[in-house]
Amino acid sequence: MKRQEALLIALLFALAVAQPLFSLLGENAEFFVTNRFGTVRMVVFALVLSICLPLFLIAVVLAANKLHSSLGKSLSLITQVVLWWLIWLPVASRLGLYGTVNITISAVTAMVCVTAWYRFNPVRLLLFYLSPAILFFPLFFLFASNASELLIPKRFDQPIEIAGSGKNTDIVFIMLDEFPLMSLLTPGLKIDGDRFPNFKRLADTSTWFRNATTASEITTCALPVAVSGLDPANVCDLLPIHSNFPRSMFTLLSTTHEITAWESATLLCPEKFCKNSAPDDEASVKIIEQTFVSDLAVIYAHIVTPRPYSNQLPPVSQGWSDFLAAMDDSEVTEPAVIHDLEGLKVEVRKRQRPMNRGAVFEAFIEEIHSAEKPGVFFLHSMLPHSPWLFQANGKEAMVESKLRHFGIRHQDDPLRTYAHEWYPDAFTVNQALQKALLQNQYVDVLLGKLLDSLDSQGLLDESLLIVTSDHGSSFIPGQSYRSINDTTMSNIGSIPLFVKFPGQKTGTVDELPASLMDILPTVVDVLDLNPQWTLSGSSLAGKTGREQRSEIQILQAGGSMHEFQRDVY
């Protein structure tokens, strides 16, 4: 095997495998946040993908060449053809070629490229001059893509010293995912107590902000807004990691409270402050690493597999990790409280798996306890986010994985997380809506368990309890399921927001505008703190600042701000 061939294999691997993954994941760096990546793991990932794997391929070819020269030559040719083929498959897909036509034309083109390299010197020279791309791709990924924030945060602000009394008040903050307010309501715009008795129970003893709206249709923007109290326009271009948000609810309360934070798609709570915010045992790390490798394989399969075959792959647009779990029907479906500490840690690391979401919620409830030092108990639950699997009792409603997203169009680009669109057929959309409502009722059951647990410990009356959602979802035939517009705004933009203030026993409905960015100012107000930095929101305990809001502003996935007049919705 000549040096030129070894360099060619390394370059082709960079073009076929490394660059597509670096490009896609660099734009969707939340994938690394969900998988708990830090500086070291980011660098290792880049080195393995760009250097170690091509060197392994070259070593295999060299080993085959030592066994028999013809074997080595054949394996080198096969490797080159396969890599060229992987390069051309996504190119042909972008040109509009599908199925076997794509596969055949890409294969023929790959063989032509291999032949041209061996027969024409200008082709070899061209590829030689392209070889610096082997190093350019990982360097660009590490230092110029969105993922670079995991190495070099965009912000370098240090937390400000907190001044204030820091009342001895426990805080329980539940952030649900993809829960539209409309699913809770009767035609008279009241909480449906028959379907959702525990939400009704919560509303009867808390303040329900009926006109609350999300800050963004994207979880990784909406959630940072809620814990930082900042305008989405100022934070949503940042990765949801604590180095980008040194001023948050977690750092604010780090000296006065013991913090338990279970995050599913963010890393906003520093490990030194927060329990269960990151893996701290060998079993947990091993699970994350195994999941990451399988997720990477699924993502790459989506990149190179032409339609319609890509539609048979596990979906990658319904969450940020553990994509194979969406196809796995062998999991135990019965929710169970986990009493073993090590088992709990392992389970938390799988918190995005659809079949485990109820168990994670129940395990989190077990973590809430009364102690000498007040606590912050934060959960970002992946319920009732699709896929819609559960009946109200927590049992699985459907086991056929191919039907879990029944009614949603096959996407032109399955890697676009917010491109979902319903078929225009009302029957299929209504079927999906009924499944979603069943799963929402399961959340109601879990909420009841939370309220019972708090009540039994004497925490319900005196704690600050916040229950809300990051955004909603829409079930309108022919419209987008997750992308907000004038038609879908009421379903995606309107969210449940309940705040039970310490000592509150009587429910009330607040009709003034409210937003996720008002949550941290409310915490500051209730605990009588002085954070010494400017918050964009206003305290929900009063009316000041909210009476003047005439527009709803919601940041879209593409980065543009969508504005709505409140008198229309």
Q: Tell me: the pLDDT tens digits for 498-524?
A: 999 999 999 999 999 999 999 999 999
Q: 91 or 270: which carries more pLDDT confidence?
A: 91
Q: 46 or 562: which carries more pLDDT confidence?
A: 46
Q: What is the spatial distance between Cα 269 and Cα 262, in angstroms, rounded to a whole number?
A: 9
Whether the per-residue pLDDT at 156 is higher than 50: the answer is: no
Q: What is the spatial distance between Cα 267 and Cα 380, in angstroms, rounded to a whole number?
A: 11
Average pLDDT for 476-486? 88
Q: What is the pLDDT of residue 155?
A: 56
Q: 517 or 266: which carries more pLDDT confidence?
A: 517
Average pLDDT for 422-449? 91
Strand partners, 320: none
Average pLDDT for 163-191? 87
Average pLDDT for 173-177? 96
Give the model's confidence band at 495: pLDDT under 50 very low, under 70 low, under 90 confident, else very high: very high
Average pLDDT for 191-218? 95
Q: What is the pLDDT of residue 197?
A: 97
Whether the per-residue pLDDT at 146 is higher than 70: the answer is: yes
Q: What is the pLDDT of residue 138?
A: 94
**CA–CA–CA angle 353, 223, 278 (5° rounding):** 55
Q: What is the pLDDT of residue 154?
A: 61
Q: What is the pLDDT of residue 569?
A: 44
Structure tokens that stand for 121 in this block: 């010197």
Instruction: Share the mean pLDDT of the chain.
Output: 83
Amino acid making up residue 51: I
Q: Mention every residue, 6+ apart, whose C-beta is less than 8 A from residue 514.
A: 209, 211, 212, 213, 497, 540, 546
Q: Are 334 and 362 contacting, i.e. CB atoms less than 8 angstroms apart? A: no
Q: Is 390 helix (H, G, I), strand (E, B) or coil?
A: strand
Average pLDDT for 375-384? 94
Q: 329 or 119: which carries more pLDDT confidence?
A: 119
Q: What is the pLDDT of residue 517?
A: 94
Phi–psi pair at 460, nearest 5 degrees:
-65, -40
Q: 339 or 202: which carries more pLDDT confidence?
A: 202
pTM score, whole prediction: 0.78
Average pLDDT for 362-375? 90
Whether the per-residue pLDDT at 327 is higher than 70: the answer is: no
* Percent residues over pLDDT 70 in the chain: 83
Give the model's confidence band at 289: pLDDT under 50 very low, under 70 low, under 90 confident, else very high: low
Q: What is the pLDDT of residue 386?
A: 85
Q: What is the pLDDT of residue 136?
A: 94
Question: Whose CA is closest to 480, among 398, 562, 391, 568?
Answer: 562
Whether the per-residue pLDDT at 157 is higher than 80: the answer is: no
Give the model's confidence band at 353: pLDDT under 50 very low, under 70 low, under 90 confident, else very high: low
Span of 245-249, 444-448, 456-460 with lowest mean pLDDT = 245-249
Q: What is the pLDDT of residue 411?
A: 55
Q: Is 486 helix (H, G, I), strand (E, B) or coil?
A: coil
Span of 192-206, 408-422, 499-513, 524-538 with lowest mean pLDDT = 408-422
User: CA 18 from chain center: how many Å?
Assistant: 23
Give the model's confidence band at 47: pLDDT under 50 very low, under 70 low, under 90 confident, else very high: very high
Q: Are 114 and 84 contacting, i.e. CB atoms less than 8 angstroms apart? A: yes
* Percent residues over pLDDT 90 in the chain: 46
Give the model's confidence band at 359: pLDDT under 50 very low, under 70 low, under 90 confident, else very high: confident
Average pLDDT for 24-36? 82
Whether the per-residue pLDDT at 246 is higher than 70: the answer is: yes
Whether the per-residue pLDDT at 345 is higher than 50: the answer is: no
DSSP character string of 440-470: HHHHHHHHHHHHHHHHHTT-TTTSEEEEEES
Q: What is the pLDDT of residue 378?
A: 96
Q: 241 or 454: which carries more pLDDT confidence?
A: 454
Structure tokens that stand for 496 in this block: 């449940």
Q: What is the spatial distance between Cα 448 and Cα 196, in angstroms, rounded to a whole number?
A: 10
Question: Whose CA is closest to 360, among 342, 341, 383, 377?
Answer: 383
Q: Are 491 and 180 contacting, i.e. CB atoms less than 8 angstroms apart? A: yes
